[in-house]
Structure 1
Amino acid sequence: MRVALCQIEVGDDPKENLQRMIDALRGAPEADLAVFPEASMVRFGNRLADVAEPLDGPFVTALRKAAREHHTAVIAGVFEPAGDRVHNTVVGIEATGEISGSYRKIHLFDAFSDRESEDVAPGAEPVVLDLAGTHIGVITCYDVRFPELARALVDRGAEILAVPAAWAQGVFKEEHWTTLVRARAIENTTWVIAVDKAPDRSRPPRGAPGGVGRSQLIDPMGTVVADLGPFPAVRVAELDLGVTERVRSILPSLTHRRPELF
């Protein structure tokens, strides 16, 4: 599978952000799957309820059209209405343009002085997408700090973990990001596609800047196959699911679990 890691800039105008996503798809015509950041619709710090749309709204409809035109499956972060708040949603779109499923972020970032829960209502169900001919478990940003979610997704049949993020900037935050996404790959002997937004170069209307970059494709042994660094970039890399089988044959840690003890 050829995976495009789409480390785009995300600003305050959904139309501009949508165009960046379409341009990224156009720039990766050989990709089978393109993964975009969390909150690709609009960056945090805006009034999210003002821009949130249902999945049959114009933003996702335009993404579906682009996926179909470029014959590329898409994973991307958007916002859905949820009363006076929103859901922080990741949508999976097949290369045919059909929606394969969606995941609403479970763990909200009420940490480091941020309060995501003021604007976002939490989801309640882990999701494995049947997408691009495989099974992809979705982990959104802060979710990656909770290893039990990744393990639950693997137990539900996930062959790949996708981690769209808008990782907040701050002391040690880049270290946390790169450590945690590798840890989820190593402990589950599975591929991880971790895509953060490019770092903000200006302060959003409310809150601190987000995005540290460093989007990565990590194999089941923990090898970083691709690292996009700190600037906007789109990179296509090869993901070989056969590697998972080979790694698990020599490192069968999943079969050595002792669930009866815990």
Structure 2
Amino acid sequence: MKIALAQVVTGANLAENLRIVEDRVIEAAERGADLVVFPEATMRAFGNSLLDIAEPLDGPWVTSVRQFARVYGITIIVGVFTQGDNDRVVNTLVVAQPDGLSSYNKMHLFDAFGYAESESVLAGESPTVTTISDVNVGLAVCYDLRFPALFAQNAAAGAVVNVVSASWGAGECKIEQWMLLARARALDTTTFVVACGQADPKAAGVPAVPNAPTGVGHSLVVAPDGTVLAEAGAGEELLVVDLDLTLIESTRRQLPVLANQRFRSVRA
């Protein structure tokens, strides 16, 4: 399975962000990728109004992404905002395949490091595992990466790849935490972890929105034994990685953590 990670910087303009998506989709398809992953908040970057642009899954922005999937023959995972309630949106990860659509609503909201995502975003209620090119793929968004139980649930539902789309907040040791957590979740579940974040605006030459999680770059792909297979830098980049899915079976023979675990996840 060949996966492309589109590490980009998006802004407030929906049309411009859609153009960025199409450009990277074309490049990923030309490089032979089965799947291209975009960051959280690709539709519109954090630090901008979200309520006025939220749309249903059959709205114009998502419909355009679905058209890209059909035209270029590639599956697209991208972060959008759908409609919630009480003046809140839903932070949604859309999976647009040439012949279908599925989605995941971010369950763990980023109420940390002085930011309160729950003030404007309604939390999702359930995990999602979808099938892409006959491969079971679990979905997660940004802050979800800090919660092992979600990844364990995805693995229990058959996921052998976990995709994380993020707009990771900058700060002291935050890049190190991002990388550590991605490797830990791979080891927790003996799955591939494909973690794609927004690029660092400064590295990309784009003004950052103050006090908003606008990205740090360093998208990475981690093997089920915790080995980092590929890592992007801070700026904009398209990282293409061919996953050797036979590593799942061989790793699980040597490290059967899923079979050996004795606790089941519970909510505190």
Query: TM-score per shorter chain, which class?
Result: over 0.9
Specify which of 190, 203, 211 is matched with residue 208 of structure 2.
Answer: 203
Match of 1:131 in 2: 132
Q: How does 1:9-28 map to 2 (within 5 A)?
A: 9-28=9-28
Residue of structure 1 aligned with 2:226, choices 222, 225, 230:
222
Deviation at 1:95, TM superposition (A): 2.9
Q: Which residue of 1 aligns with 2:216?
A: 212
| Separation of aligned partners in 2, 1:50 and 1:37 | 20
Cα contact 2:103–2:128 (8 A) shared by 1? yes
Give the gaps of 5 or more residues in structure 2.
none
Superposed CA deviations along residues 110-147 of structure 1, whole A, max 9, x for unmatched, are: 11110101110011111111223211111110011011
8 Å CA contact 1:93–1:131 kept in 2: the answer is no
Q: CA deviation at 1:209?
A: 4.9
SS in 2 for 1:47: coil
Shift of 1:203: 2.8
Aligned-residue CA RMSD (Å): 1.4
> Is contact 1:219–1:225 with CA below 8 Å preserved after alignment?
yes
* Partner AA of 1:258 in structure 2: R
Q: CA deviation at 1:12?
A: 1.3
Partner of 1:234: 238
Determine which of 89, 92, 97 is the counterpart of 1:94. Answer: 97
Q: Does 1:32 align with 2:31?
A: no
Counterpart secondary structure, 1:4: strand
Q: Deviations over 1:64-84 (max 9, x none)?
A: 111111111111110001121
TM-score under structure 2 normalisation?
Answer: 0.93
Secondary structure, counterpart of 1:139 in structure 2: strand
Aligned to 1:119: 120
Match of 1:187 in 2: 188
Greater Cα offset, 54-63 or 129-138: 129-138
Q: Contact conserved, 1:4 with 1:28, CA < 8 A, in 2?
A: yes
User: C-alpha distance in 1, partners of 2:52/2:201?
Assistant: 21
**DSSP-derived class of the 2:201 partner:** coil
Does structure 2 conserve the Cα–Cα contact (< 8 Å) formed by 1:182 and 1:218?
yes
Q: Distance in 2 between matches of 1:208 and 1:38?
A: 13
1:38-187 to 2 correspondence within 5 Å?
38-83=40-85, 84-96=87-99, 98-99=100-101, 101-187=102-188
Equivalent pair of 2:201/2:235 in contact (CA under 8 Å): no
**Equivalent position amino acid for 1:150 in 2:** F
The answer (yes or no) to whether the contact 1:203–1:209 under 8 Å persists in 2 is no
The code of the aligned residue for 1:69 comes to: V
Tell whether the 8 Å contact from 2:6 to 2:37 is kept in structure 1 after alignment. Answer: yes
**TM-superposed deviation, 1:36:** 0.6
> Scaled by the length of structure 1, what TM-score is found?
0.95
Is the 2:37–2:77 contact (alpha carbons within 8 Å) kept by the matching residues of 1?
A: yes
Letter in 2 for 1:116: E
Correspondent of 1:243 among 243, 247, 256: 247
Gaps of 5+ in 1: none
User: Is the 8 Å Cα contact of residues 87 and 104 (structure 1) preserved in structure 2?
Assistant: yes
1:160-198 C-alpha deviation (Å, 9 max, x unpaired): 100000001111111110000010001211101100011
Q: What CA distance in whole angstroms lies between the structure 1 residues aligned with 2:91 and 2:159?
A: 21
Query: Size of the alignment, in residue pairs?
Result: 258
**Contact 1:95/1:132 (<8 A) preserved:** no
Contact 1:192 1:219 in 2 (8 A): yes
Question: Does the CA contact (< 8 Å) of 1:38 and 1:141 recur in 2?
Answer: yes
- Name the % identity: 43
Paired residues of 2:167 and 2:213 also in contact (CA < 8 A): no
2:22 aligned partner, one-letter code: I
How far has the Cα of 1:259 moved from its partner?
2.9
Mapped to 1, the partners of 2:232 and 2:185 lie a distance apart of 19
